[in-house]
Structure 1
Amino acid sequence: MVEFGEVLKVIGDFGFFQKLVILALACQNVLLPIFFCSFLFIQSDPERHCDTDWILRADSNLTSGEQLNLTLPREEDGAFSRCRMFVPVDWDIGAIREYGLNETTGCRDGWVYYDTLYDATIVTDFDLVCDRSNLAQVAQTVFMAGLLAGSFIFGPTAEAYGRKRSTQVPVVLLLVFVIVVGVSPNVYVYMASQFIVGAALGGYRINSTILATEWIGVTKRSLASCMSQMFSSVGQCAMAGLVYAIRDWRTVQYVIAGGQAFILLYTWWTPESARWLLEQGRTEEANELIRRVAAINKKKIPEYLLDEVTGEREVQSGSIKALFTSTVLMKYLFIISFAWFSLNLGYFCLVLNVGKLGLNIFLVQFLFGITEAPAHFLCVWVLELIGRKKSLISSLLLGSFFCLLTLAFPRDSAVVITALVTTGKLFLNWGGSVCMVYIQELFPTSVRYKSIHNMRFKIFSIQCAFGFGSELRSFRQTAVGFGSIAYRGAGLLSPLLNILAVYHWSIPTIVFSSLTLTSGALGFLLPETRRKELPDSTREAEGNRKVTNQKAGSGFNAVEHTSTKSTKL
């Protein structure tokens, strides 16, 4: 039997086909950060006063100053109240001037906003001020909850219905619901739509990376994750420019929909993963796809090679529970998931505070993006130069160090703090790319369950989300699913952690930096996986370090692990 990695070397493990697939799948990532703009580019406490046009019925010739003096109470500092008004009366203007108004109430007819940075935001359109001001942060939390839900929903679908379908469906959902977001009549429809948008984003990001990775050889495997991150950085810059030019959040949603429609046009030609097709026993489709890739890469493939790679496969008997009974694999899963959780918690705490660093929000957002784009080019090179383990440890430790360093400066040092935050965010984002590559290389491909159940009835269940009960399930996909849940769970908690800043501004930084520092130290317990074929069995995954040493001494096609492979392609 021939491993699929050997077939890739024959048909081209990083030819024109692979470059085209990476480019097509990564283009969507330019739009991903822009979906955040409606709740990032807002003024949470805009200048405002209650709408008191009721008094114009008594005298339509009142000046704006007279209207405010007669209808609004004053605060202790002498300014007009921004959340209270006098109760409307049916008196004539003379009586109102003579006796005045004393009884106050909340703003009954909405607010009048002025001196705002934007033409329209969700805060001004939905009146998320005063006693409703917390709904802006609730909207952030709902969106993050959607990202987490996407990990539960689209993780199992990638295994049951393929990588291709699990990337196409989110693209359709994004196109539909970004429009629904733009036409939302109230904040509740907005949040429900954003939840679905978040779920689609979470599903696309994880499954598109897996799809690209499974077509790439060992020497360039890290490129899929790093390119998606790099395109995402470009999207951050584009978001700053787009919102700067278009200050109406609804109009921005329609522009995003236009870009999403372009992505949808070519998404249906995305190829399926041949690895997944072989796992499903769909050998004819895999054969045809392999031949097509060889033709695109201008390579010739011997027919006997296809016969060997798509022949009868010996599959390891057992259950996905083996993942949880293996001490080594559970250790790997905990460490990599904790690292992913910690860095994403810090990343989103910084992103959601983009407007609170003391500098122009458009400038800060542009810096966030422009500094990350070249870094992800370097990430590809560094991953191959020093390996996954050292890359992960260094990115976690450096990210936490620069974030903690912000606490040493007074809060009015906007330039210094912005520079440190931008650098810390760069390393945290870098660490996310490393985690995405690392987690796929630590765990084996697949096992067959002892119990056979109908996937149709299991696919949407919690069992299936964690990998129990299906006929054929990937350890790798399960591990990525758990890591993604930790990753998205951190995003869900980040708005709540930022709320703790009301007690002291340093609390969020101390919490996420400490967690990131701890996860960096735990990284020393992981093995190195650089330039290794993806493990096919639990034995190979548990003996990853030993196998690496053997192969390092005799090249990429070195002797196999002493134990018999239980899963072969």
Structure 2
Amino acid sequence: MKLEKIPVEKISTPTPTATTTTTAEDTHLDDIIIRIGQFGRYQICLYILLCLPIVCNAFYSISYIFTASSVDHRCNISQCDNLESTYYTSASFLNFTIPQEKGMGTASAWDQCSHFAFAKTIISLQNESECLAQNFNRRHRVPCEEGYQVSQDERTIASEFGIFCSDRWQLSMVGTVNNIGQFVGIPLGGYLADRYGRKTILVVAGVLSAFAGLARSHAPNYYSFLCLEFLDMAVGSTLFPTAFLMAIELVGPKHRVVAATVISLTYGLAEAGLGYLASYIRDWRILLRVLYTPALLHLLFICLLPESVRWLLSQSQETDAKNTLRKAARVNRKSLPEQHLSELMRSNRQLVAQSAASGGHYTVQQIFHALGWRIAQCCFVWFIHTLLALGLSLNSNSLSGGNKFENFSITGFMQIPGIIFGTILMHRLGRRWALTSLMSSCGIFLLMVMAFEEDYPLIASCLYFLAKMNSTGSFMVLYFFTSEIFPTNCRNSLLSFCSMVGRFGSMLAPQTPLLPLPPFTL
């Protein structure tokens, strides 16, 4: 597609199947980066700092799977339970008062939302207890009418706010509201990052997200929790896309794929760590405080984190850009002749002067006129990826073997080989074919899961994790692909826009556990 007014810049090494047009600015800047070190000490320090927003975003975007998860519960049987009864009370009367449901494989559990109807048929002259098998009709089930006995192993908003059975949709709604917040926050954060700088947005978003999360840990009821969940994502969801772009914008062409891979690996490890952390901290209020307090460290970015050189150049802030490049050269122990900086500034001024948009910013009409079809394709692919990737994580608690914490952590760890595999395919096949092959194989694995889940639950679980692995690899390719095909001045905005449209898929994903389908079916 021919771009008449907006130059499509290169932000990665081209593959055999992908061609990219470069601008004079990128050419000169890449030459300077190669001279001062493509991935030296300066870039490593930058990556260590950017781990904070990446890990925080990994935690915050899916922490609701533990804070708003259902807990084990059963009906309170008033004829048998007493004040000392617990969820794990003796099973002697549970065998004839509460039906059992068959789980995956051979496992079974007490029905959580119904019990056998009480129908007293024996009247003892000695006023015998009503808790007798003969007094319960096994052919007739009734919903819980006398409250619930709840497992004390875990404390979530379900147990604290009394959200069970017919109200379970309220738990799924937390995930949907979380993604609605991302739908609002990601494009807004992307626009503000392009307008006011990557560094500024990382600091503001990180601190505001910390305040929102800590406030949510004190929520007195369900609806205040829901509002703060939305607010948290509305202000903090831009952390990952902004940090991702900032991380790869000062890395040399030779190392940009590796750099993107490191970022994605950090995200996967953070998700896996969240599962283990939640398994030890099973009180949702304490868990939120542990997760959100470190986000206040974003304040240190004011002094420690440099602004993106590419953004500084797009804003004609040449002095700051030159100072950042000089510092990078000094830290990497490389020489940087002033002549090279002068040539970069001269080419940047020509690029800014030629820009059709005043102030260095393109109008929405210009962007969609030049890039409309490309944006539409990206949006569709993002929708599919977010629905599938999040759906696989959320439904992992239905897997046989292990508990929901272990299963969730495994899905996080499976992202690591998925990212590496995706990177290899991206080098071997190019972006397009890597994306296609990974998503196709993911779909095949899920169809095989449906075929094996009844008779071979262990094989089904392995196939499920393989599907998650390929889904993650495909997502990594997509993120990198999207970030390299848009111009600098609107790159963050368009990446955020595609991600925003993809949030429609992630809004639907939290509702999938409610579908009247087999546990693995998405």
Q: TM-score with structure 1 length normalisation?
A: 0.70
Q: CA deviation at 1:333?
A: 2.2
Moved more, 195-204 or 379-388: 379-388
Alignment of 1:148-547 (within 5 A): 148-262=183-297, 264-266=299-301, 268-311=303-346, 312-313=349-350, 314-317=353-356, 319-326=363-370, 329-360=371-402, 361-411=404-454, 413-446=456-489, 474=490, 476-499=491-514, 501-502=515-516, 504-505=517-518, 509=522
1:34 pairs, out of 36, 59, 79, with 59
Change (3 A) 1:98 1:413: closer
Aligned equivalent of 1:21: 46
Any stretches of 5+ residues in structure 2 without a counterpart? 1-23, 87-95, 101-109, 118-126, 131-141, 358-362
Cα distance in 2 for partners of 1:336, 1:62 equals: 58
Contact persistence 1:43–1:123 (CA under 8 A)? yes
Cα distance in 1 for partners of 2:290, 2:83 equals: 41
SS at match of 1:352: helix
Q: CA deviation at 1:214?
A: 1.3
Change (3 A) 1:162 1:105: same
Q: Deviations along 1:401-443, whole A, 9 cap, x unmatched?
A: 2122212223463312211111111111111111111112222
Q: CA deviation at 1:182?
A: 1.6
Q: Deviations along 1:65-102, whole A, 9 cap, x unmatched?
A: 9xxxxxxxx98969999689x9xxxxxxxxx9999xxx
Contact persistence 2:77–2:97 (CA under 8 A)? no
Cα distance in 2 for partners of 1:349, 1:145 equals: 16
Q: CA deviation at 1:188?
A: 1.1
Q: Deviations along 1:470-503, whole A, 9 cap, x unmatched?
A: xxxx2x234212211122221112123443x21x
Contact persistence 1:40–1:354 (CA under 8 A)? no
Contact persistence 1:226–1:379 (CA under 8 A)? no
Q: Deviations along 1:12-46, whole A, 9 cap, x unmatched?
A: 22222112212321343334443333434766363
Contact persistence 2:185–2:234 (CA under 8 A)? yes
Cα distance in 2 for partners of 1:52, 1:269 equals: 62
Change (3 A) 1:125 1:402: same
Q: Deviations along 1:127-151, whole A, 9 cap, x unmatched?
A: 1114422110111111111121111
Cα distance in 2 for partners of 1:151, 1:34 equals: 16
Query: Residue 11 in 1 paired to residue 36 in 2?
Result: yes
Q: Percent of aligned positions with the same letter in both sequences?
A: 23
Any stretches of 5+ residues in structure 1 without a counterpart? 66-73, 87-95, 447-473, 510-569
Query: Residue 47 in 1 paired to residue 84 in 2?
Result: no
Q: TM-score with structure 2 length normalisation?
A: 0.76
Contact persistence 2:38–2:251 (CA under 8 A)? yes
Cα distance in 2 for partners of 1:292, 1:145 equals: 40
Cα distance in 2 for partners of 1:380, 1:178 equals: 34
Aligned equivalent of 1:524: none
Moved more, 181-190 or 26-35: 26-35
Contact persistence 1:230–1:374 (CA under 8 A)? no
Change (3 A) 1:63 1:481: closer
SS at match of 2:304: coil
Paired residues in the alignment total 451
Cα distance in 1 for partners of 2:365, 2:53 equals: 35
Q: Deviations along 1:299-322, whole A, 9 cap, x unmatched?
A: 111112212212332323264423
Cα distance in 1 for partners of 2:77, 2:298 equals: 43
Higher RCO, 1 vs 2 (CA within 8 Å, ≥6 residues apart): 2
Change (3 A) 1:43 1:307: closer
